[in-house]
Amino acid sequence: MIFKVLYQEHEEEAPVREETKTMYIEADSVKSVREKLADRSINIEHILELNEAHLAYEQKSEDFKVESI
């Protein structure tokens, strides 16, 4: 499964919509995504499991890249 992770680069900062970053992670569950990102000091706002239609839409973006962790 592919998950879309919305996050802030600095763990201690309050979320600001304009500074929200996105990454895509392949994992088995939301828990697995959190475990894979545990060593990074980022502020995870939301993790969304992408269904087929949403994944197809996201893949059209030039910024789409699945992170290898």
Q: What is the pLDDT of residue 65?
A: 93
Q: What is the pLDDT of residue 30?
A: 96
- Give the structural domain span for 33: 2-67
**pLDDT tens profile 10-68:** 888 778 888 899 999 999 999 999 999 999 989 999 999 999 999 999 999 988 999 87
Domain count, the chain: 1
Output the domain CATH number for residue 46: 3.10.20.730
**pLDDT tens profile 23-37:** 999 999 999 999 999
* Residue (of 2, 64, 6) closest to 32 by Cα position: 2
How is the beta sheet containing 21-26 ordered, strand by strand?
A: 43-49, 2-8, 21-26, 66-67
